[in-house]
């Protein structure tokens, strides 16, 4: 393995809080400069990154804290303001803009994760902001109400303690399709179930599902972790909050 692959293969999330040790400003700058090197559609870099160093604010907003937090927002505010500044008409506030913006944003976020690791700095990607009230998040970060959506947070820091193991991943043949899409057969599904069940691989979220009386890890996952499917397909709770927020931000156009 070369050094880049070694860095990528050594990635692991630090769950919970990081130690008090701070990431230096010089390292932060390097991480940010690497992050924006990620590919982006049409040279728009359709994101903004909000850097937090206030640990109490981090806790309040997304329940975790580290030395710094990089909040990656899909954001067309800048490119739209530039258009107006130069007397052009332009907007990207629709679902296609949102999806391409999401690609730019997450590529930049994961690039920050890899750059940080190469500097010996650990991270956690979290969607903790989404568990908070989105109105509160917009207010606390002064986010533009339109053309901007906070997507993911990369918390940076040094671990308080080393994770006991590195989380595993499914075999490549479970996720890679050559030539065209192949729906999984029953035998292939059984193999995936077995991969989740293999505790030595640490693919699932918890190790002690057997002690809790479950036959398979996924039996725990579908009954204890995930919510019941909405049979009537009527948006309520968080789904409704997201739909309303995306409509407010202009990315989702309610049907005429
Ligand atoms: C979109 C997203 C949201 C996540 N949110 C959380 C979170 O809120 N809390 C947490 O501890 N880990 C979170 N994670 C980290 C995952 O739990 C972690 O990547 C996964 O368990 C695999 O472990 P690894 O990154 O150590 O390989 C999140 C990861 C992603 C990509």
The domain segmentation of the chain, as residue ranges, is 3-163, 204-256
> How remote is the CA of residue 126 from the centroid of ligand 1, in Å?
6
Q: Fill in the DSSP letter of residue 119.
A: T
> How remote is the CA of residue 206 from the centroid of ligand 1, in Å?
13
- Specify the pLDDT at position 232: 83
Pocket lining: 133 vs ligand 1, CB cutoff 6 Å: no
Closest CA to 16 of 126, 102, 111: 126
Pocket lining: 167 vs ligand 1, CB cutoff 6 Å: yes
Ligand 1 pocket test, pick from 124, 129, 132, 225 with the greatest ligand atom count within 8 Å of Cβ, gives 124
Question: Whole-angstrom Cα distance, residue 126 to residue 106?
Answer: 12
Return the CATH number of the domain spanning residue range 3-163: 3.40.109.10
- Specify the pLDDT at position 255: 78
Residue spans of the chain under pLDDT 70: 256
Q: Which CA distances in Å does 91 have to 81, 96, 250?
A: 10, 11, 10
Question: Whole-angstrom Cα distance, residue 71 to residue 99?
Answer: 18
Cβ-Cβ contacts under 8 Å for 177 (sequence gap 6 or more): none
Question: Whole-angstrom Cα distance, residue 248 to residue 228?
Answer: 27
- Specify the pLDDT at position 48: 98
Pocket lining: 15 vs ligand 1, CB cutoff 6 Å: yes
Ligand 1 pocket test, pick from 17, 126, 155 with the greatest ligand atom count within 8 Å of Cβ, gives 126
Task: Locate the ligand 1 atom nearest the alpha carbon of residue 168 and give its number.
Answer: 27
What pLDDT, in 10s, does the model give residues 193-239?
Answer: 999 999 999 999 999 999 999 999 999 999 999 977 777 888 889 99
Pocket lining: 126 vs ligand 1, CB cutoff 6 Å: yes
Put the strands of the sheet holding 68-75 in their side by side order. Answer: 47-52, 68-75, 148-157, 122-126
Element (H, E) at 70: strand 68-75
Question: Whole-angstrom Cα distance, residue 54 to residue 141?
Answer: 12
> How remote is the CA of residue 106 from the centroid of ligand 1, in Å?
14
Question: For atom 9 of ligand 1, which residue has the closest CA?
Answer: 126
- Specify the pLDDT at position 147: 96
> How remote is the CA of residue 2 from the centroid of ligand 1, in Å?
26
Tokens representing 208? Answer: 């002690």
Tokens representing 190? Answer: 């059984």
> How remote is the CA of residue 64 from the centroid of ligand 1, in Å?
12
- Specify the pLDDT at position 230: 75
Question: Whole-angstrom Cα distance, residue 46 to residue 100?
Answer: 8
Instruction: State pTM to two decimals.
Output: 0.96
> How remote is the CA of residue 100 from the centroid of ligand 1, in Å?
22
């Amino acid at each position: 393995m070369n050094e880049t692959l070694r860095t990528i293969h050594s990635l692991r999330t630090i769950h919970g809080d990081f130690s008090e040790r701070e990431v230096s400003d010089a390292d932060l700058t390097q991480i940010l400069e690497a992050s924006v090197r990620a590919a982006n559609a049409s040279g728009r870099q359709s994101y903004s990154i909000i850097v937090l160093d206030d640990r109490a604010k981090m806790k309040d907003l997304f329940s975790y804290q580290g030395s710094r937090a990089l909040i990656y927002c899909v954001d067309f505010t800048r490119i739209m303001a530039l258009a107006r500044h130069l007397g052009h008409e332009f907007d990207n506030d629709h679902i296609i803009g949102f999806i391409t913006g999401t690609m730019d944003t997450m590529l930049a976020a994961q690039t920050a994760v890899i750059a940080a690791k190469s500097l010996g700095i650990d991270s956690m990607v979290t969607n903790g902001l989404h568990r908070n009230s989105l109105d509160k998040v917009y207010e606390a970060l002064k986010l533009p109400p339109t053309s901007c959506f906070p997507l993911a947070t990369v918390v940076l820091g040094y671990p308080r303690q080393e994770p006991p193991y590195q989380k595993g991943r499914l075999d490549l043949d479970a996720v890679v399709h050559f030539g065209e899409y192949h729906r999984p057969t029953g035998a292939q599904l059984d193999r995936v179930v077995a991969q989740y069940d293999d505790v030595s691989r640490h693919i699932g979220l918890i190790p002690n599902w057997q002690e809790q009386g479950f036959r398979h890890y996924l039996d725990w996952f579908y009954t204890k972790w995930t919510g019941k499917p909405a049979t009537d397909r009527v948006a309520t709770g968080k789904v409704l909050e997201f739909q309303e927020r995306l409509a407010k931000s202009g990315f989702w156009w309610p049907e005429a």
